[in-house]
Chain A
């Protein structure tokens, strides 16, 4: 059996390692062939970008060589897919190679798309790539006071990022001794300050306590850099001296080019994680169109379900369980406190007050991530 994984981010890497362990005898005997195709020879710990933007991580801490994270037995090629030929169970790559498969898993991820909002890319700071996070860090270091506006696009990767960057900026300016010279103003696309209602109910009084103002139903329409104003689809506008954005995201271009899904997001069965209409094509992480958080945690739990199911297909001929939609997201609430939200398709989250202990757990996870990627944690 040939199992092909396209994408070497969190979801693809955990899935590959999970399968390599579960199917070790079959891989060793040659009954199962595990292949991963990726666009990069490096693996980035994307949640670290938030810390890089405020000067609490360095770029070197974000990366490992992808090959070093993979179990022996996984054939790894830095050779991105150019064409998905799903009717013939094969893909073609940038180098011109063709890879056939019996089972395909697509985990190509998502990318920020600030260009969809006029003026946003030119006038806002963000932290979704190393380059943009470094630039934001430098901009913050030179910022001496004024009105900071946080503006959020839809859909976006990491639903906690808007709250986290706001809380972290609050402490960042306190630490620099200029909080009294900074107005922090938070905007959010729907009628409360976070998509998760219990999180919004907890965060709003926290914002009040910290002197962070906020407005809801604010979907960016355009940024007028000359007048330092961001305007919303709802008719609102926010004046800024520094605009920080969590931009809207799209799936990868290759998904759109191959007609696999609008916006680069592939229609996916939320329980089976199969691509609609394709029983041997699985989709995980940000690449799906499932109405679930675009987050590393989502990809992690999906990869575990798929590892179990694909191994079962190889051994028993059928998958053994439906995915439950589990998500576990840390929420950094500043420099030294954090909480978390855990939920699945059936059970809403019930976030607890932030503590130092959870913050230190998150700090530890920033290092333990590499064990997660290896499929150990």
Chain B
């Protein structure tokens, strides 16, 4: 497996972690894995919710030292 692409959206109020992820997914091939770093607790709900709607895979969510790590696989 290739290394996960880090989307470092810590402290991003605008456009914010989910918008960063949406934009970044357009630049990677199907099958790529990305890991969003967010300091916004809302990301732990918003991102998995959007992934389910669109059909990308939510790999894991974990909280580490105040930073949410949300791993994603592009499926289409």
Contact = CB atoms under 8 A, between A and B. Distances in A.
**Chain A interface, >50% SS class:** loop
Given A189-B22, A248-B26, A263-B26, A154 B15 contact: yes
B67 to A, nearest CB: 14
B49 A191 contact: yes
Contacts, number: 72
B66 interface: no
A155 B13 contact: no
Interface in A291-344: 291-293, 325, 327, 341, 343
Contacts of A116: 26
Contacts of B50: 190-191, 217, 234
B13 A154 contact: no
A82 interface: no
Interface in A341-368: 341, 343, 345-346, 348-349
Contact of B14 (A154, A219, A327): A327
B19 A189 contact: yes
Contact of B12 (A219, A291, A341): A291
B46 A348 contact: no
A154 B21 CA distance: 10
Contact of A293 (B7, B14, B26, B42): B14
A102 interface: no
A196 B14 contact: yes
**Chain B interface, >50% SS class:** mixed
A226 to B, nearest CB: 25
B59 to A, nearest CB: 19
Given A291-B9, A343-B13, A190 B18 contact: yes
Interface residues of B, number: 24
Nearest to B55: A233
Nearest to A235: B53
Nearest to A159: B14
A181 B26 CA distance: 37
B14 A195 contact: yes
Contacts of A61: none
A57 interface: no
Nearest to B46: A191
A174 interface: no
Contacts of A343: 13-14
Given A234-B54, A291-B7, 20 more contacts: A154-B19, A154-B23, A189-B18, A189-B22, A190-B18, A190-B19, A195-B13, A195-B14, A196-B14, A217-B49, A217-B53, A219-B54, A233-B54, A234-B53, A248-B23, A263-B23, A263-B26, A263-B27, A291-B20, A292-B14
16 contacts: A190-B19, A190-B50, A195-B13, A195-B14, A195-B16, A196-B14, A196-B16, A197-B42, A219-B22, A291-B12, A291-B15, A291-B17, A293-B15, A341-B14, A345-B11, A349-B13
| A-B interface, 4 closest residue pairs, ranked by CB to CB distance from nearest | A291-B12, A155-B23, A262-B27, A345-B11
Interface of A: 116, 154-155, 159, 189-191, 195-197, 217, 219, 233-235, 248, 262-263, 291-293, 325, 327, 341, 343, 345-346, 348-349
